[in-house]
Amino acid sequence: MSSPVTLTNKVLVVTGAGGGIGRDIALLAGRYGAKVLVNDIGASLGGEGLSAGPAQQVVEEIKAAGGDAVANTDSVSDAASAGRIVQTALDHFGRIDAVVNNAGILRDRFFHKMSEEEWDAVIKVHLYGSYHVSRAAATHFREQGSGAFVHMTSTSGLIGMVGQANYSAAKLGVAALSKSIALDMANFGVRSNCIAPFAWSRMIASIPADTPAQQARIERLKQMTPAKIAPLVIYLASDAAKDVNAQIFAVRNNEVFVMSQPRPVRSVHRSEGWTPESLHEHGMASLRGAFTPLDKTTDVFSWDPI
């Protein structure tokens, strides 16, 4: 019996696919029949240094397994180079069916110590990068009347995390970008969804482990391999997910979550309007029970990975 999920004859662009989550997505896409553009600039976690090696190695692995793939080393952070990523897929395979915006870097720093360069570098790769590659693909998706975007967001943005203002802002922006794409392009048969991945990769390997609690957290994170993320990406890129749009998922080892999106939870009303004093005396007192706690991701996902 054939699987209802297939990527045969589809062309996937996977950014940041030279290692970690992106590599596993590219490899599984190849096994499901996709032609894969493997994009990676071959840089360090902080974005320094360039090498064609990581992307080409993944391409060779896909080909060795009987698939078809091509490497690309353009940066997602610039409109022109992001356009070349999509154009490379078109030149080699003649079409493009899905974009997986996975490329990322980290420049963690407490907000009161964060430099403008650290802010810009992360925003440009994650948020601008997702925009640039998506925008380059959007015209082709519209013309062919189909297409799927899968963007990597993070619970650092959806919930919160210490020392990641740049990354958190970018990743929450990615979630809003995905929703906007879904709204604007639904009439053209184009879908856009997000995944917040929990996976041990070099991105989270940079998390400090100076205390016993931090070390214990690292050991828990190591259980969550990048390969756990790939199946949901393959599903969302396939026609089997044609009715799944504008959602935010999270994957944590063997758990898959659909995440809430902001909606009103409580309201107060005064026919005469509000003053600062009445807001203090009545408004906030009425709303306080619905306040969101100052939680971090680790507070919300407090149990060990399953």
State the catalytic residues: 167
Cα first-last separation, the chain: 30
Largest interatomic CA distance in the chain: 72
Helical H segments across the chain, by residue range: 20-31, 53-64, 79-93, 116-123, 129-144, 155-158, 165-185, 212-221, 230-237, 276-278, 284-287, 297-300
Q: Specify the DSSP class assigned to residue 264.
A: -
Residue 76, burial from CB neighbour count under 10 angstroms (0-12, 13-18, 19+) = buried
Nearest to 62 by CA among 42, 86, 36: 36
d(CA 55, CA 57) in angstroms, rounded, equals 5
d(CA 283, CA 21) in angstroms, rounded, equals 45
Q: CB 80: neighbour CB atoms within 10 A?
A: 10
**Tokens found for residue 292:** 């969101």
Where b means 16+ CB within 10 Å and e means fewer, 268-305 reads: eeeeeeeeeeeeeeebeeeeeeeeeeeebbeeebeeee
Interacting residues of 119 by C-beta distance below 8 A, sequence separation 6+:
107, 165, 166
